Amino acid sequence: MPNDTINNAIKKASTSNENYEEIVYEGYGPCGVAVIVEAATDNKNRTAADVRHAFDKSGGNLGTSGCVSYMFNKKGVIVIEKTSTNMDEEELMMLALDAGAEDFESQEEIYEIITSPSDFTAVREKLEESGLQFLEAEVQMVPTTTVSLDESGAEKMERLIERLEDLDDVSNVYHNWEE
């Protein structure tokens, strides 16, 4: 997300007495990719129109509540760069699992630790106590299945994500596109 968008949202929130409401939009991007958009807004009509416009301009369409959320699970995700730790894979895996993690995955350059949302804080704190630094640590919507796209579909999907992230009210965009 661009820094200008973040700074504008912070300025707007700090100078305003308005109430912000959290809204979740669901829809389909190009080639049937499932997309969930989380937003915080003081004007639901404006935000809905902006999100709908972003979907329409990118070859997707905004759906009804629940149309794609069944394809995602809320999970805690902690990503650690392999070069940032001197622990070996097995030692880190045992530490994470003992702390309450559900899953541990080793990829080329990173370790990915998956937790339930309720155990996320405890696992993160236990790993921080061990001196680990995270590339990413947050609760997010993780897709249960993924979709592969050809080059044309990938370009359209990148445009959709970019358009959505450029909207001031949008806080998170989740999708099941296998990048």
Q: Does 165 lie in the same domain as 155?
A: yes
Q: What is the CATH number of the domain that holds 134?
A: 3.30.70.980
The pTM (predicted TM-score) of the whole model is 0.80
Q: Does 90 lie in the same domain as 38?
A: no
Q: Does 105 lie in the same domain as 22?
A: no
pLDDT in tens, 10-65: 776 666 566 889 999 999 999 899 999 999 998 999 999 999 999 999 989 999 99
Q: Does 133 lie in the same domain as 108?
A: yes
Alpha helices in 1-129 (DSSP H): 3-14, 44-57, 89-99, 120-129
Rounded CA separation 76/25 (Å)? 21
CB-count exposure of residue 18 (10 Å: 0-12, 13-18, 19+): exposed
pLDDT in tens, 154-176: 999 999 999 999 999 999 999 99
Q: Does 83 lie in the same domain as 44?
A: no
Give the pLDDT of residue 3: 75
Q: Does 87 lie in the same domain as 61?
A: no
Rounded CA separation 179/114 (Å)? 19
pLDDT in tens, 113-156: 999 999 999 999 999 999 999 999 999 999 999 999 999 999 99
Count of domains in the chain? 2
pLDDT in tens, 81-125: 998 888 889 999 999 999 999 999 999 999 999 999 999 999 999
Rounded CA separation 72/133 (Å)? 27
Q: Does 63 lie in the same domain as 52?
A: yes
Q: Does 130 lie in the same domain as 77?
A: yes
Q: Does 46 lie in the same domain as 131?
A: no
Average pLDDT of span 62-82: 93
Q: Does 150 lie in the same domain as 135?
A: no
Rounded CA separation 133/113 (Å)? 13
The one-letter amino acid at 112: E
Give the pLDDT of residue 17: 63
Query: Which structural domain range is residue 62 located in?
Result: 3-69+144-175
Give the pLDDT of residue 10: 75
Q: Does 130 lie in the same domain as 106?
A: yes
